[in-house]
Amino acid sequence: MKNEPSPEAWAEMHRRMVLTRRLEETLGEMFRSGKTRGPIHRCDGQEAVGVGACGALGQEDYVATTHRGHHVYIGKGLDPRRVVAEIFGRATGYCGGRGGHMLIGDASTGVIGGNAIVGAGIPAAAGMALSIKIRGENRVAMTVFGDGAAQTGICHEAMNMAGLWKLPVIFVLENNRFGLTVPQDRQSATGDLAARAAGYGMPGEVVDGNDLVAVFRAVASAADRARRGEGPTLIEARTYRVEGFSTSDMGGYQDPDEVAEWRARDPIRLSASALAPLIGAEEVAAIEAAAREEMERAFQQALADPMPDFAFHAPSSPYAEAH
Amino acid sequence: MPTMRYAEALNAALREEMARDEAVFVFGEDVGTYGGVFKVTKGLMEEFEGRVLDTPISEQALTAMAVSAAMTGTRPVLEIMYADFMPLTLDALINQASVFSYVWEGQVEMPFVLRTQGGGGVGTGAQHAKSLDGLVAQVPGLKVVAPVTPADAKGLLKAAIRDPGPVIFLEHKLLYNTRGDVPDGDETTEIGRARTVREGTDVSIFATSRMVLEAEKAAEALAAEGVFAEVIDLRTLRPLDLGAVVGSISRTHHAVVVNEGWGFCGYAAELSATVMDHAFDQLDAPVMRVAIPDMPIPYSEPLETQVIPDAGRIAAAARRALA
């Protein structure tokens, strides 16, 4: 079937989801023991969105993500060790410690990049798509953004231009039901965010955001459409934020039953049970164990890496020579 | 050397750079079919098919798209119709362009130019007459230029388009019809270099954009009184040509700074502080600041003329410095 992942591709995505989960869990443990710096925004339970979406793209395609983008970093194939190194401010991190976990970028794999201003990734991807169109390239640009970002004004501006100019861009709306601590039905005039696509002259589609293959299929088909010059697609991937907004979140606003229901629909377990008939349950277990080990090794290596040296950054400093 | 209007000089720069480099494209409100409200982009849409885009009124997203398009292989030249609309662009400049130029340094370049025009004097009212130079000149990573002559309009725009960027290019609505000699051929004006307009021995007047013309008139008036003012056109607001500033003060020992933005926390304030930091020992009197008073720009002619700095106020400031 067209836009169906091969068993090998699915296994690789499954591996990346497990890598991401282990990253998030380890960060949670390290936060609790006081070993992290600044906030961490975990994406546990949402791995299928970032990994499935990135899995449907090529290395040359661009992606812009959010403050909660670890599944996109790992999904697009970044080196776990360098991701962890950036989170811990090491010289070996993707930004040499300048960016932190929200601003990781790697031009060589098209990750341009994390963004901690809610909504900013949306025009960023539209601008990359404009660049692709001006240069006549065959790439696509994608943004993964939340239901909170969908309420910003810049989202409207960017989607309008993307639709107007038929830009090769994929808008993956990762609806995790919360913008900060406020549930989506108290932030949005409509519960059907994908329906907004009609106002921008593009197709809008709802997919189960905890179903890796459903996300993959939707994005692969949107990418085909974009490469054919038919313009953007809005994909609303419905999922749930089972951890807090960030490590500083003190909770108290989520329905525990609802959280439990979504935890029971764990995207990794769903993927594992559907993948097992294709490659064997033992192989799935082996992939998961190897991924967990790889992430643990990434932490060990990254934490042993050196801290960066400070340097002024003054390409346009009014008086650089005076420092 | 041919004589050209300022607007024609800008048009020539755009045409030459678009012909030289296919990655250069122009977008903004009214820039296409209409040729720009000040006719700076006249004729370009016909000449460069697909590389001149009329856009919706979406300054926020357009600026963010310029940033990401520049990071992915094109050289966008974005026109923001009035400097008063710059507040809409600030997230893209402050939280995107400035941040990424630091955290992703070495991975991406950001060769975009944001052209805009400010200034008052023709009854455009409080939301269409401001100069917000200080607002953008404060931001690390941005370069800010403000030509006053047609020759520099062309030379600096060519340099800005070729610069690894980003460059904020400040024009003035009262300059578009001014005429001047413009060198033939591929001449650029180096970013970061001030221009001595008139040599003098008694007081240095540092001015930007149209204020340079007022400073010249002030210098004429002062010369009739036997006071010889040196007039320096800063041309580049950031990075400031500190050598030219300190050099002039070390000859005259008196300084007047002139900018058509607000005085408090404005570009003139920064320039005063910079002079104090670097040339205090050379000064025989406090630095005099000439800027817009602490209020919005009024509409009615007798009100507006009270707030826009002119030769009379500049000369009075010079006399105070020398008193």
pLDDT grade for A320, boundaries at 50, 70 and 90: very low
Using a CB–CB cutoff of 8 Å, tell me whether A61 touches chain B. no
How close B108 gets to chain A, by Cα (Å)? 7
B32-50: average pLDDT: 97
Q: Where are the domains of chain B?
A: 3-181, 195-322
pLDDT digits (tens, 9 = 90+) for B182-207: 998 899 999 999 999 999 999 999 99
pLDDT digits (tens, 9 = 90+) for A154-182: 999 999 999 999 999 999 999 999 999 99
Copy the structure tokens of residue A216: 């993959």
- Indicate the number of domains in chain A: 1
Using a CB–CB cutoff of 8 Å, tell me whether A112 touches chain B. yes
How close A61 gets to chain B, by Cα (Å)? 11
pLDDT digits (tens, 9 = 90+) for B13-28: 999 999 999 999 999 9
pLDDT grade for A318, boundaries at 50, 70 and 90: low
Using a CB–CB cutoff of 8 Å, tell me whether B77 touches chain A. no
pLDDT digits (tens, 9 = 90+) for A95-119: 999 999 999 999 999 999 999 999 9
pLDDT for A316 beyond 90:
no
- Average model confidence (pLDDT) across chain A: 95
The answer to whether the Cβ–Cβ distance between A128 and B71 falls below 8 Å is yes
pLDDT score for A1: 61
Q: Per the residue annotation, which of B8, B59, B230, B304 is the catalytic one?
A: B59
**In whole angstroms, what is the distance from residue B165 CA to residue B238 CA?**
12
What percent of chain A shows pLDDT beyond 70? 97
pLDDT for A202 beyond 70:
yes
B50-66: average pLDDT: 98
In total, the C-beta contacts within 8 angstroms joining chain A to chain B are 145
pLDDT for B80 beyond 50:
yes
The answer to whether the Cβ–Cβ distance between B65 and A135 falls below 8 Å is no
The answer to whether the Cβ–Cβ distance between A127 and B69 falls below 8 Å is yes
pLDDT score for A248: 85
A77-83: average pLDDT: 98
Using a CB–CB cutoff of 8 Å, tell me whether B103 touches chain A. yes
The answer to whether the Cβ–Cβ distance between A115 and B96 falls below 8 Å is yes
Nearest to A160 among B58, B105, B107 (CB): B58
How close A76 gets to chain B, by Cα (Å)? 17
- Per CATH, the number for B195-322 is 3.40.50.920
Is residue A2 a part of any domain in this protein? no
pLDDT for A72 beyond 80:
yes
How close B70 gets to chain A, by Cα (Å)? 8
- Average model confidence (pLDDT) across chain B: 97
Partners of B256 in the β-ladder: B205, B288
pLDDT score for A317: 63
pLDDT score for A244: 86
Looking up residue A298, the CATH number of its domain turns out to be: 3.40.50.970
> Has B278 been annotated as catalytic?
no
pLDDT grade for A313, boundaries at 50, 70 and 90: confident
pLDDT grade for B215, boundaries at 50, 70 and 90: very high
How close A276 gets to chain B, by Cα (Å)? 40
As its CATH architecture, domain B3-181 has 3-Layer(aba) Sandwich (3.40)
Domain that includes residue A278, residue range: 7-305
Task: Please choose, from the candidates B233, B192, B181, the residue with its C-alpha nearest in 3D space to the C-alpha of residue B6.
Answer: B181
The answer to whether the Cβ–Cβ distance between B239 and A319 falls below 8 Å is yes
Using a CB–CB cutoff of 8 Å, tell me whether B60 touches chain A. yes
Angle, CA B236 vertex, CA B235 and CA B241 arms, to 5°: 100
pLDDT for A240 beyond 80:
yes
Using a CB–CB cutoff of 8 Å, tell me whether A78 touches chain B. no
Nearest to B143 among A132, A316, A321 (CB): A316
Kindly provide the ipTM of the predicted complex, given to two decimals: 0.94
* CB of B206 closer than 8 Å to CB of B237: no
pLDDT for B134 beyond 50:
yes
Q: Per the residue annotation, which of B128, B172, B253, B254 is the catalytic one?
A: B128
> Has B214 been annotated as catalytic?
no
The answer to whether the Cβ–Cβ distance between B65 and A123 falls below 8 Å is yes
Is residue A249 a part of any domain in this protein? yes
The answer to whether the Cβ–Cβ distance between B65 and A130 falls below 8 Å is yes
Domain B3-181 identical in fold to domain B195-322: yes
pLDDT grade for A323, boundaries at 50, 70 and 90: very low
pLDDT grade for B88, boundaries at 50, 70 and 90: very high
What percent of chain A shows pLDDT beyond 90? 92
What percent of chain B shows pLDDT beyond 70? 100
pLDDT score for A79: 98
Nearest to A126 among B65, B99, B100 (CB): B65
Using a CB–CB cutoff of 8 Å, tell me whether B56 touches chain A. yes
Using a CB–CB cutoff of 8 Å, tell me whether B102 touches chain A. yes
pLDDT digits (tens, 9 = 90+) for A246-298: 988 888 899 999 999 999 999 999 999 999 999 999 999 999 999 999 999 99
Using a CB–CB cutoff of 8 Å, tell me whether B280 touches chain A. no
Partners of B179 in the β-ladder: B5
B302-323: average pLDDT: 97
